[in-house]
Amino acid sequence: MQDAITSIVNKYDLTGKYLDKIAINEISNYFQTGIERIQLTKLINEKTSFFIKEASAQLFSEEPELIRPSGNAYTTRRYAACLRDLEYYLRYATYALIAGNNNILDERVLDGLKDTYNSLCVPIAPTVKGIQLLKEVIINNLQITDLDSKNLICAPFDHMIRSLGENNI
């Protein structure tokens, strides 16, 4: 897993360049937001169960066909798998938040997800909706009004939503 600094340095090293003003500004921003990223991650971690419960309740309320017979969350085992997956996306979103870098989401979550979901016949739209709901529940519950804090929290979720939405799974 790479943090923002490692990603920046690697990018410049590959091209054989010295760090320029853009790179220095990115690194500076990483350090300036460090305490805030840690605090936001702590707040999210303290209420993880609540966020999963709320987002899943909204998801199944909005898409009840998921929990009906032949739905992808029908049976206790499949329902539990959906909750597990939501927790998985939330956990990795906090890793990306703390690292200040969304690359971990590609490495550990998104790469290969298409093949996995295709092989299990899992539709992607409810997954994207669940990730969107997680983001909304967190923002609303933590009452995040500061635009910078909101952007920090939203970035990993938006990255997953964009990546999954671009794939025709």
How far apart are the C-alpha atoms of 15 and 83, rounded to whole Å?
43
Cβ atoms 139, 75 nearer than 8 A? no
Reported CATH class of domain 34-166: mainly alpha
How far apart are the C-alpha atoms of 45 and 47, rounded to whole Å?
5
82 is in an annotated binding site: yes
Domain layout of the chain by residue ranges:
1-32, 34-166
Q: Which two tokens stand for residue 119?
A: 């092989």
Identify the pLDDT of residue 169. 42
Identify the pLDDT of residue 117. 86
Q: How confident is the model at residue 167 (pLDDT cuts 50, 70, 90)?
A: low
154 is in an annotated binding site: no
> What's the whole-model pTM score?
0.90
72 is in an annotated binding site: yes
Chain segment 117-133, per-residue pLDDT in tens? 888 888 899 999 999 99
Above 60 in pLDDT, residue 12? Answer: yes
How far apart are the C-alpha atoms of 21 and 72, rounded to whole Å?
49
